[in-house]
Chains A and B, each alone.
Chain A
Amino acid sequence: MLIADKYIQYVKEKTLKEPEKSWDKILLGFRMNRLRTRFLPHRGLAKGYQRLEDMMMAHVADSLSHPDRYVWGNIFAPCEIIGSFGLNTLSIEALACYLSGYHLEDFFIDFSQSIGIAPTLCSYHKAFVGAVESGVVPHPSYAVTTSLSCDGNLNTFRFLQKKNYVPFTLLDIPYKDDEASLDYLAGQLEELVTEMENHLGLKFNMEHLQNALRVENETRRELKRFYELLQTHYYPGEIIHQLYLMMGTHLLMGTQKFLDLVRFMNHDIEGMPEFTGKRILWVHLLPFYQESLKEYFDESEKYQVMATDIVMDYTGDLDAEHPFRALAQKLIENVFNGSYDHKAQTLGRLADRLHPDAVIHFCHWGCKQVSGGSVLLKEEMQRRNIPMLILDGDGIDKRNSHDGQIKTRLEAFLEMMG
Chain B
Amino acid sequence: MIGYICKYTPIEIFEAMGEEVRRIEPEVTSFNQADTLMHPNICSFAKGVLESALAEHYDGIVLTTCCDSIRRVYDVLREKLPGCFLYMLDAPRITKDAGVHIYERRIRDMIKAYEAYSGKTFDEEKLAEVIRKKEAETAISFRRDRPNIGILGARANPNIRRILEEHGANVAFDLTCTGLGRKLHWQENEPFTGYVRGLLSQFPCMRMETAANRDRMIEQYAGSVDGIIYHTIQFCDNYSYEYAWLKDILKKPQLLLETDNTKQSYGQILTRIEAFLESLQSGRAKAAGSRAAGNYVGKGSAAGGAVGSYAGKDGAVNGVAGKRMGKGSAAGGVTGSYVGKGNAADGAAGNRMGKGSAAGAAGKRMGKGSAAGGVAGNYAGKGNAAGGWDAAERTGQGGTAMYVLGIDSGSTSTNAVIMDQDRQIRAFEVVRTGAKSGESAERILKAVLEKAGLAREDLARVVSTGYGRVSIAFADENVTEISCHGKGAHYFNPKIRTILDIGGQDSKAIRLDERGEVVDFVMNDKCAAGTGRFLEAIARTLEIDISEVGPEALKSTEAIEITSMCTVFAESEVISLIANNKEKCDIANGICNAIANKAFSLMRRVGLEPDFMMTGGVAKNPGVVRAVESRIGGKLYICPEPEIVGAVGAALYALNTLGL
Contact = CB atoms under 8 A, between A and B. Distances in A.
A402 B238 CA distance: 26
Contact of A402 (B74, B101, B525, B569): B569
Nearest to B64: A175
A162 B245 contact: yes
A174 B68 contact: no
A375 B237 contact: no
B78 A341 contact: yes
B68 A150 contact: yes
B245 A399 contact: no
A121 to B, nearest CB: 4
Contacts, number: 156
Contact of A114 (B76, B237, B605): B605
A414 B211 CA distance: 49
A83 to B, nearest CB: 24
Contact of A163 (B88, B234, B245, B256): B245
B98 A366 contact: no
Contacts of B244: 115-117, 159
Given A175-B90, A372-B39, A118 B240 contact: yes
Interface of B is mostly: helix
A18 to B, nearest CB: 15
B655 to A, nearest CB: 37
B98 A121 contact: no
A404 B75 contact: no
B72 A368 contact: yes
A363 B39 contact: yes
B564 interface: yes
A20 to B, nearest CB: 18
A65 interface: no
Interface string B242-258: 01110100000000100
B237 A372 contact: no
Interface in A222-238: none
A152 interface: yes
Interface residues of B, number: 61
Contact of A158 (B99, B241, B569): B241
A339 B92 contact: no
Contacts of A374: 39
Contacts of B94: 170, 172, 188
B122 interface: no
Interface in B327-358: none
Interface string B193-211: 0000000000000110101
A181 B74 CA distance: 20
Contacts of B525: 119
B92 A399 contact: no
A118 B102 contact: no
B576 A404 contact: yes
B41 A373 contact: no
A404 B573 contact: yes
A236 B294 CA distance: 81
Given A399-B565, A402-B563, A116 B605 contact: yes
Given A116-B247, A159-B244, A371-B42, A400 B565 contact: yes
A151 B75 contact: no
B218 interface: no
A118 B237 contact: yes
A327 B367 CA distance: 80
Given A118-B232, A155-B206, A176 B90 contact: yes
- Which of B39, B245, B525, B575 is the most central at the interface, judged by chain A CB atoms within 10 Å of its CB? B39
Interface in B528-563: 563
Given A114-B605, A368-B72, A372-B39, A172 B92 contact: yes
A369 B206 contact: no
Given A113-B601, A371-B38, A120 B237 contact: yes
B573 A172 contact: no
A162 B94 CA distance: 19
A270 to B, nearest CB: 40
Nearest to A407: B576
Contacts of B392: none
Contacts of A366: 41, 237
Contacts of B42: 368, 371-372
A180 B36 contact: no
B37 interface: yes
Interface in B1-55: 36-39, 41-43, 46
Given A184-B98, A376-B76, A376-B79, A371 B41 contact: yes
A340 interface: yes
Interface string A351-370: 00000000000010110110
Interface in A92-148: 110, 113-122, 147
B98 A187 contact: yes
Interface in B72-108: 72-76, 78-79, 88, 90, 92-94, 98-99, 101-102, 105-106
Interface residues of A, number: 54
Interface in A141-195: 147, 150-152, 154-156, 158-159, 162-163, 170, 172, 174-176, 180-181, 183-184, 187-188
B67 A151 contact: yes
A405 interface: yes
Contacts of A400: 564-565
A339 B71 contact: yes
A147 to B, nearest CB: 6
A368 B46 CA distance: 10
Nearest to B105: A180
Contact of A371 (B39, B79, B564): B39
A227 to B, nearest CB: 27
Contacts of B575: 404
A398 interface: yes
A343 B102 CA distance: 24
B162 interface: no
Given A114-B601, A402-B563, A402-B564, A339 B232 contact: no
Interface string A325-351: 000000000000001110000000000
Given A156-B241, A402-B564, A404-B576, A172 B211 contact: no
Contacts of B234: 120
B102 A180 contact: yes
Contacts of B43: 368
B235 interface: yes
B265 interface: no
A365 B93 contact: no
B621 interface: no
B102 A181 contact: yes
B604 interface: yes
B69 A372 contact: yes
B72 A116 contact: no
15 contacts: A114-B601, A120-B237, A152-B237, A155-B206, A159-B241, A175-B88, A180-B102, A180-B105, A184-B98, A188-B94, A372-B73, A376-B75, A392-B41, A402-B563, A405-B569
Closest 3 CB pairs of A and B: A372-B72, A116-B244, A118-B240
Given A116-B256, A339-B88, A392-B41, 8 more contacts: A116-B240, A147-B93, A154-B209, A172-B94, A175-B65, A184-B92, A184-B101, A339-B71
